[in-house]
């Protein structure tokens, strides 16, 4: 090889598509130039990754960063900082901001704000509604768009497509990923009146925001997906029943789960954390959690996202159900899941499948998500043996807390490398160099 490379990662154990093995990685012009055994004189900079694992960059496909409209909770800058600190190299941000991201102007505003301090690569979802559905085929292909998001049930913000007609209108327009929050709005309105009533107990959260409501919305969604011939990506699955249904519908639906639902369970989480465990769809009992793990092991689950949804402690301190739903998580995704790897709940390779290969495959990301020649040199370098306590103080999120405060984990992100540049090393943020994530071209239909 005649060309001189920019960076050489040596002595690391690398998770490659064909298996995990010791290898050096040569980086040139921000791309993976070669993988093998190389002479150190071949690169300008050498990083010794001895004792560490080199994973493809972790892509968090579900975060809420609150800008515009909720900058007191989080900004694009603080959210991306938290991501980079947690070993995440790219984020896909949700449209339930204020104003909603339902117009090209809304998207442009986010793209501009993100470019000011881009601690990670980034892309944004368009909010899909009946009102903007006709425009989605054009708008979903704007640079920086990772897909379209539908809320079938109310959560934080005003985005809602609650009826079959509204959901169908969105599904009929466009070809990119449609990511769906599947809780049944009509059932939840009834349940809130009849089941929650005047209770102020956060432990009621998973009871009135019921499994039946999630199952109903998911069944309706699958029926509409078949009717319209549009594939759907069903977000944050929480119950055994949905997992069973989705396992039977692999041809039309992909599946996301969250670290919180794999780690916490009712009623304990509500007794211990109160409204800090309040999120939508809710954290449920242990037998549901075990069914989600089964879905991880048997391949039903495609993607793991954090659903980072920060609210201030003051807001969370309001009396339930006046307290907002959502918990921060982008910075704790990697350590929490590496701890599960160390406990034997999943393999390191399956983790990589859920946070790199899965996002690449489902969203058709161009040049990211795998350690192969020619791809972007995005790496999450981790120490599987490092034991740490997760604490509020470490958190870069503007809301300043985590539901995992005081949790001991084994496994920690050591470096966040984006296109060959060091963004975080040993819990220190270095420089923001992120760009919009690019996606493979959608081939236009002939005629």
Active site residues per annotation = 307
Residues contacting ligand DOR: total by CB under 6 A: 10
Task: Indicate the residue among 47 and 234 with the shorter CB distance to ligand DOR.
Answer: 234
Angle (nearest 5°) at CA 263 between 259 and 268: 135
Task: Indicate the residue among 52 and 257 with the shorter CB distance to ligand DOR.
Answer: 257
257 counts as binding ligand DOR under rule CB under 6 A: no
Smallest distance from the beta carbon of 288 to ligand DOR, in angstroms?
16
61 counts as binding ligand DOR under rule CB under 6 A: no
Whether the Cβ atoms of residue 147 and residue 178 lie closer than 8 Å to each other: yes
Smallest distance from the beta carbon of 390 to ligand DOR, in angstroms?
20
Smallest distance from the beta carbon of 67 to ligand DOR, in angstroms?
12
For 130, the token pair is 């009946």
Task: Indicate the residue among 312 and 342 with the shorter CB distance to ligand DOR.
Answer: 312
Task: Indicate the residue among 64 and 340 with the shorter CB distance to ligand DOR.
Answer: 64
Please give the order of strands across the beta sheet that includes 121-127. 58-63, 88-93, 121-127, 145-151, 178-181, 232-234, 253-257, 303-304
325 counts as binding ligand DOR under rule CB under 6 A: yes
441-444 own/partner pairs: CB under 8 Å, 24+ apart: 442/141, 442/175, 442/176, 442/364
Task: Spell out, one character per residue from 284 to 323, where the chain touches ligand DOR: x when CB under 6 A holds, - when not.
Answer: -------------------------x--------------
Task: Indicate the residue among 111 and 309 with the shorter CB distance to ligand DOR.
Answer: 309
Q: How far apart are CA 313 and CA 330, in angstroms?
A: 17
238 counts as binding ligand DOR under rule CB under 6 A: no
Task: Indicate the residue among 20 and 312 with the shorter CB distance to ligand DOR.
Answer: 312
Cis omega (within 30 of 0) for bond into 321? yes
64 counts as binding ligand DOR under rule CB under 6 A: yes
Smallest distance from the beta carbon of 109 to ligand DOR, in angstroms?
18
Smallest distance from the beta carbon of 185 to ligand DOR, in angstroms?
13
**Taking the CB of residue 381, how many other CB atoms lie within 10 A of it?**
23
- Among 181, 261, 363, 419, the residue binding ligand DOR under the rule CB under 6 A is 181
Angle (nearest 5°) at CA 317 between 312 and 320: 120
DSSP characters for 197-266?
TT---GGGHHHHS-HHHHHHHHHHHHHHHHHHT--EEE-----HHHHHHHHT-TTTEEEEE-HHHHH--B
Task: Indicate the residue among 75 and 279 with the shorter CB distance to ligand DOR.
Answer: 279
- Among 61, 75, 78, 96, the residue binding ligand DOR under the rule CB under 6 A is 96
Q: How far apart are CA 62 and CA 91, in angstroms?
A: 7
At 116, phi and psi to the nearest 5? -75, -35
Tell me the CA distances in angstroms from 122 to 26, 93, 233, 438, one per residue in order.
24, 8, 19, 9
SS3 314: helix
Whether the Cβ atoms of residue 10 and residue 40 lie closer than 8 Å to each other: yes
- Among 56, 118, 259, 326, the residue binding ligand DOR under the rule CB under 6 A is 326
Smallest distance from the beta carbon of 161 to ligand DOR, in angstroms?
13
Smallest distance from the beta carbon of 70 to ligand DOR, in angstroms?
9
- Among 132, 155, 213, 356, the residue binding ligand DOR under the rule CB under 6 A is 155
Task: Spell out, one character per residue from 260 to 289, where the chain touches ligand DOR: x when CB under 6 A holds, - when not.
Answer: -------------------xx---------
* Binding residues for ligand DOR (CB under 6 A): 64, 96, 155-156, 181, 279-280, 309, 325-326
């Amino acid at each position: 090889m005649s060309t001189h490379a920019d960076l050489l990662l040596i002595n690391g154990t690398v998770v490659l598509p064909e298996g995990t093995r010791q290898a050096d990685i040569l980086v040139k012009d921000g791309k993976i130039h070669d993988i093998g055994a190389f002479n150190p004189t071949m690169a300008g900079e050498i990083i010794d990754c001895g004792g560490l694992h080199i994973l493809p960059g972790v892509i968090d496909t579900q975060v809420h960063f609150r800008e515009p409209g909720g900058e007191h909770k989080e900004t694009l800058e603080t959210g991306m900082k938290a991501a980079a600190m947690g070993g995440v190299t790219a984020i896909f941000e949700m449209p339930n901001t204020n104003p909603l991201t339902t117009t090209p102007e809304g998207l442009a505003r986010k793209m501009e704000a993100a470019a000011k301090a881009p601690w990670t690569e980034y892309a944004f979802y368009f909010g899909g509604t009946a009102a903007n559905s006709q425009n989605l085929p054009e708008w979903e292909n704007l640079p920086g768009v990772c897909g379209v998001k539908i809320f079938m049930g109310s959560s934080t913000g005003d985005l809602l497509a609650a009826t079959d007609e509204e959901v169908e209108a969105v599904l009929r327009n466009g070809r990119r990923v449609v990511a769906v929050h599947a809780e049944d709005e009509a059932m939840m309105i009834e349940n809130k009146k009849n089941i929650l009533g005047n209770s102020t107990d956060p432990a009621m959260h998973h009871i009135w925001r019921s499994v039946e409501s999630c199952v109903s919305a998911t069944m309706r969604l699958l029926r509409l997906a078949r009717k319209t011939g549009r594939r759907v990506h069903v977000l944050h699955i929480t119950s055994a029943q949905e997992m069973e249904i989705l396992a039977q519908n692999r041809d039309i639906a992909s599946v996301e789960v969250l670290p919180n639902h794999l780690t916490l369970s009712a009623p304990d989480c509500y007794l211990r954390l109160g409204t800090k465990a309040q999120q939508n769809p809710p954290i449920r009992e242990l037998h549901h959690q075990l069914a989600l793990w089964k879905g991880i092991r048997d391949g039903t689950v495609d993607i793991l996202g954090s659903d980072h949804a920060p609210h201030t402690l003051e807001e969370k301190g309001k009396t339930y159900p006046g307290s907002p739903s959502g918990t921060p998580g982008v910075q704790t995704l990697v350590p929490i899941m590496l701890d599960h790897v160390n406990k034997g709940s999943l393999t390191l390779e399956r983790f990589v499948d859920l946070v790199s290969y899965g996002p690449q495959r489902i969203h058709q990301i161009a040049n990211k998500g795998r350690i192969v020649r020619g791809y972007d040199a995005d790496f999450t370098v981790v120490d599987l043996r490092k034991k740490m306590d997760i604490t509020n103080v470490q958190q870069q999120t503007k809301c300043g807390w985590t539901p995992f405060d005081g949790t001991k984990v084994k496994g920690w992100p050591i470096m966040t490398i984006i296109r060959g540049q060091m963004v975080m090393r040993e819990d220190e943020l270095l420089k923001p160099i992120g760009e919009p994530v690019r996606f493979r071209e959608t081939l236009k239909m002939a005629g």
